[in-house]
Chains A and B, each alone.
Chain A
Amino acid sequence: MDQESTLIQQLRRTLGRMEAAMGAIHDALAISDEQGRLLWCNDPFLQLCARPRLQCLGRSILWLLPSSVSGEPLIQGSESSLLATPSGSRIVELRQNPLQVVEIQWDPIPDEEPPAVVFCLRDISTLISYQELWARSESIQQRSQEIENLNARLRRSQQFLAMQVRECPVTGLPNRRGLMEHLEKTLGQAEEAPDAFAVLFCDLNRFKEVNDTHGHDAGDELLIEISRRLREATRQGDMVSRLGGDEFVVVSHHLQRGSQAQEIAERLQQAVGQAWHVGGEVLHPSLSIGIALAGSAGSTGSSGALSAQELIRRADQAMYAAKAGHLLSGQFFDDSLARSQETSTRILQALRQAIARRSLTLHLQPIVELSSGSISGHEALVRLPGEDGVLLSPDHFIGHAERSRLIGQLGLQVLEQSLLSRRRSGGRELSIAVNVSPIELTEPGFAERVLEACSRAGVNPARLQLEITETAIISQPASTAEVLSSLRQAGVRIHLDDFGTGYSSLSLLSELPVDGIKIDRSFTAALGQDRSRTAVIQAITQLCRELGLSVIAEGIETEAQHQHLRGLSCHYGQGYLFGRPEPLDDGPRDPR
């Protein structure tokens, strides 16, 4: 190898190292000719252009480089003007998310012939990210504030507009605002010219069924018709308004005596109750009416000046009493209702507190296998800590819990405590029976919640018995059957509680989705005393045996009852003979 060749080899290796070194630089480097055609570039430049090398060489560098996020070329100008400009640089945002910003710099190579230009593109995203983020954050906050201001203005406008609306859009009657203004005006005038008047709170019974069965259009038609009938049934000067939903309020003026309000209520009821045709059916609508008297019509409840709000509240409360009593005549608000309201308020407060503090107390009453006398499980009975530490039994508060929709939370806590009690049963596979409200059964996800509670407590669902009433099954048979079916499939047993006290029919037993029945204590008490009731128990136990249903007799208090039921092959029993309900913390006791 001659010297020249050796020199060339050395130069090539040097060039090769330089080229490899430039390839290892993170910045994108490129060299173009005077017309901007790419002569050389390193790998980061190819990555930026997203093309292989052979597709880049010879092409215009202005064409190869990506555009900025706003669509502008990274280098402004044309090929012909590229070298006409001196060195330059600019910062360009390539992408917003994640942020990618490059600083591009170009410099003609001095004295190069033919002329060439060196390009360097550096990713400076991390250098400006913080600043950019800060700027964006401020921009977002500013925008958020603008939107909030806009929303506040909109809300004020909506409130202002809502305050202008005094009429129900469906019926054309005055709405709550219209009613309040009317009452306040009436009360204001009463100071100068006393007027005896009545507020009649009217709730349209079973309106939901019309909506559910015939649709909301039919529901609206009914509301319009009821409005018309109420207007026609009232005197000139009286006011009919619609509060919303199925609630109407009539204000009747210039009463001679309090009982006149009752006559008006009956007239309203009669007018509303006329036949109404929908979807081929004939309905006879009815109202539940609560009455609050004001002015010189007579003192109803606490005396003293009443506000419009208080009058409506009293009439509303009386309406609930009318509804609960299935009264077709009006129910006056009086002191007993006020006291009942106070009691209800106290119980609800105690209930909410107990649920929030998880301080509901559980008592367990043993259920015994009658043939052997051994405990097979317990029934869980919840107690509510009331004032002065008195424990209230379910009769006192379950109704309130159901009406206030606290029953779901209450039921879940009882279930959880009951299941936990099984973990403490010392390895014995004792069952636990828990009462379930019909309302709980209709709440979405009930079955899932029960099974999740079993899973959390580590208790086999087969040890759980849910006691339901006939009402729960009969009121919504299809949906209830579906819930019960999914629970039974998971192993939970369903028992029909208080059998014999409701609509129970022996022929229905074979169709109900249950695993057993509990014979009401009134039948047990009659054993051997009342021949017909004894015969009923005999028939029930025999039928259940044939249907494969278990039978539990409640209220067993004497050994004679025990032996009688054993004789009838009744499987299980509970009652004071075997044990009273005892607090969970005391632990279940063996009755014998």
Chain B
Amino acid sequence: MSGTPSIQALQNGDAPFVLADNNGNVLAVNAAFVVVYGWKPDELIGQPITLILPESFRMSHQLGFSRYQSTERSQVLGHPLRLATICRDGSEIISEHFIVAEKGEAGWRFGATLTPLPADPAVGENTG
């Protein structure tokens, strides 16, 4: 995907960042992520990335994640997504997720920056 920044570039930036492996487990978070969302690295590393996703998004995430492993086609990679992120204290912060994927010897790795956004009741909340 031309123009898409590398995981390395995202990781070196100032925005909160999280890295996951091809099983969907967290490999690393940066200091900004810890500050903004309150999770300590040892509370997340080795745990499913779905910990930071709202409950109602987890099933679709798992299926979409699996589908990418099967088809290597995705509608969510490489462009900003407005999603709720679950903080350590259980609260939700609407964030802009920017996810990139890279395939290495150990399989796929997924890196994402999560930038907090002003709350938008139309996104990520159940207004029904």
Residues of A within 8 A of B (CB): 1, 5, 8-9, 11-20, 31, 33, 36-40, 53-55, 57-60, 62-64, 79
Contact = CB atoms under 8 A, between A and B. Distances in A.
B57 A19 contact: no
Give chain B's interface residue range (CB within 8 Å of chain A).
20 to 34
Contacts of B41: none
11 contacts: A1-B106, A9-B22, A9-B23, A9-B69, A15-B63, A16-B70, A39-B58, A54-B123, A58-B54, A63-B127, A64-B128
Given A5-B23, A9-B23, A64-B128, A57 B64 contact: no
A40 B65 CA distance: 13
Contacts, number: 83
**Secondary structure type dominating chain A contacts:** helix
Contacts of B56: 33, 37-39, 57-58
A20 B73 CA distance: 11
Interface of B: 22-23, 54-60, 62-71, 75, 81-83, 106-107, 122-128
B78 to A, nearest CB: 15
A59 B126 contact: yes
Contacts of B62: 15
A18 B59 CA distance: 13
Contacts of B64: 19
A407 B59 CA distance: 85
Given A58-B57, A63-B128, 6 more contacts: A16-B63, A19-B66, A58-B56, A58-B125, A59-B127, A60-B126
A137 to B, nearest CB: 40
A60 B67 CA distance: 25
Nearest to A79: B128
Contacts of A31: 59
B58 to A, nearest CB: 8
Contacts of A54: 81-83, 123-124
A58 B126 contact: yes
A55 B84 CA distance: 11
A20 B82 contact: no
B70 A13 contact: yes
B22 A16 contact: no
A55 B128 CA distance: 12
Contact of A59 (B59, B65, B70, B128): B128
A62 B128 CA distance: 8
B90 to A, nearest CB: 16
Contacts of A57: 56-57, 60
A55 B122 contact: yes
Nearest to B73: A20
A1 B107 contact: yes
Contacts of A62: 128
B77 to A, nearest CB: 14
A271 to B, nearest CB: 87
Contact of A15 (B23, B66, B81): B66
Contacts of A20: 67, 70-71
A53 B81 CA distance: 11
A53 B60 contact: yes
A16 B23 contact: no
A241 to B, nearest CB: 79
Contacts of B23: 5, 8-9, 12
B24 to A, nearest CB: 8
Given A5-B23, A9-B23, A54-B83, A39 B59 contact: yes
- List 6 tightest A-B contacts by C-beta distance, closest first: A60-B128, A16-B70, A63-B128, A58-B56, A15-B66, A16-B66
Given A1-B107, A20-B71, A55 B123 contact: yes
A59 to B, nearest CB: 5
Contacts of B123: 54-55
A12 B70 contact: yes
Nearest to A43: B75
B68 A16 contact: yes
A13 B66 contact: yes
Contacts of B126: 37, 58-60
B69 A12 contact: yes
A14 B62 CA distance: 12
A256 B107 CA distance: 129
A438 B125 CA distance: 82
B69 A13 contact: yes
Nearest to A60: B128
B60 A12 contact: no
Which of B58, B60, B62, B82 counts the most chain A CB atoms within 10 A? B60
